[in-house]
């Protein structure tokens, strides 16, 4: 489908799944993972305050910079890496097609 992209997620056990995500519904990557019943607590629901949707981006095109709130939260996380993101803050857009992320320990 034209308005659908693929997002690849490496799970806690190392296996990978490919999720189809619609680009026209204003969803975040976190919401797509939850809708596919992946084990992502995302307790706060997408406000960038709990980091229980923390992912490491393994492969992507250019991503928008983290907002101050997201950057600050990432800074406080013990396991964050240089490409860590909060998946609730990544909006599903055509540019994200082929994105590969790994679920992190906080998630």
Which residues of this chain interact with another protein, rule CB under 8 A? 41, 43-45, 47, 49-52, 68, 71-73, 75-80, 105-106
Contact predicate 4/22, CB 8 Å: yes
Backbone angles phi, psi at 71, to 5 degrees: -60, -40
9 bridge partner residues: 17, 101
Minimum distance from residue 47 beta carbon to another protein (Å): 6
Minimum distance from residue 98 beta carbon to another protein (Å): 27
Residue 24 and residue 4: Cα distance in Å, rounded?
8
Minimum distance from residue 65 beta carbon to another protein (Å): 13
Closer residue to another protein, CB minimum distance, 80 or 92: 80
């Amino acid at each position: 489908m034209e308005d659908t992209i693929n997002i690849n997620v490496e799970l806690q056990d190392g296996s990978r799944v490919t999720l189809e995500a619609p680009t026209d519904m204003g969803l975040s990557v976190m919401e797509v993972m939850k809708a596919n019943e992946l084990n992502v607590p995302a307790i706060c629901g997408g406000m960038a305050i709990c980091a229980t949707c923390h992912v490491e981006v393994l492969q992507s095109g250019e991503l928008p910079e983290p907002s101050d709130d997201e950057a600050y939260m990432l800074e406080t996380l013990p396991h964050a890496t240089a490409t860590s993101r909060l998946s609730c803050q990544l909006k599903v857009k055509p540019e994200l097609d082929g994105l590969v992320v790994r679920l992190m320990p906080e998630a």
